Chain A
Amino acid sequence: MIDWITVWTVLFVSSVTIFAIMAVVVTIRGARDIKQLLRSIEKGDREDGQDSENKE
């Protein structure tokens, strides 16, 4: 017979631990990605602008 209390206890403790570590990593590296995203969109706009100027 499955010891459900142990199963759920182990699941809860291990998941919370992994998530806590992941939250720290994602918080730090996600902030860097935001800067990169805004830079990339802005760069894309500039290139679009240049393209349309060339076409004209």
Chain B
Amino acid sequence: MPAPAGADVAETAAARVPRHQVQAFAAMVGVLVAAPFFVYPVFLMKALCFALFACAFNLLIGYVGLLSFGHAAFLGSAGYASAHAAKVWGFPPEAAIVFGTLVAALLGGAIGALTIRSRGIYFANITLAFAQMIFFFAVQASFTGGEDGIQAVPRGTLLGVLDLRQTHTMYFTVLGIFLLGFLIVYRAIHSPFGQVLKAIRENEPRAVSLGYRAEHYKLIAFALSATLAGLAGATKAIVFQLASLTDVHWTMSGEVVLMTLLGGLGTIFGPVVGAFIVIGLENYLAQLGAWVTIVQGAIFVVCVLTFRRGVVGELGRIIRKPL
């Protein structure tokens, strides 16, 4: 796609959602609504949080072409913020999640403003270093609890009505948050804004010459991606009643790359599929210790060498429609 799409073209394209994507979305919602009655809901909630995280990450790599190797910073700091708000300040869960998400948004804006001018490998390297700065901050700051993290975060009652200690109530809350995030990403990608992003990805100088302020668009996309990653992290902290160093560590940034790559970079459903596969694999291999890392590394190598479209990308190629 060498030519950047004009805004009016995008408007009409966005107006009608392809039928196969609607069907796929309906199938996904159906499966996710039925799933907790067959599969361990805590596993599903974990996978859903990571699926949202991966969707947020995919917004950046798939549609702006920027590989952030520091997205754990947003997941983790939002987790700490929402856990702190819920536990120490006694916020209700919805306010704690909103607060955590806002923290990630601010952090995303700040880090984005510093990094967005770089691209490619430079961008990956710099975001990684910033995330590591956040990690060391989390190790040392007193409110994060260091190695212990923030434990026993109360789940509370949602909007004062729904008791989130009930597993199924919690599950459907998480599902709602996930679907909200998923649709925000979908809408962003298919809006005129998303078309401009794709134009910048394909040919930045040309997009600039057409009058688009590429850096502004990229910064907004970065901040949106960070915000949604934060939403995932804040929700995860409430679900698992825990915010810990694992979520800010750089291996987490690597994991979300793996999920998105395995599912399919730049596909709509890929990150969700990738997250479920990776989390499922981790669950399955958990008792084997370091084997989790080895298997993840091997999947990385295989994906990069021979399977660059990912699961959903390959599926989309088979049915010849973008999924």
Do A and B come together as binding partners?
no
B residues lining the A interface (CB < 8 Å): none
A residues lining the B interface (CB < 8 Å): none
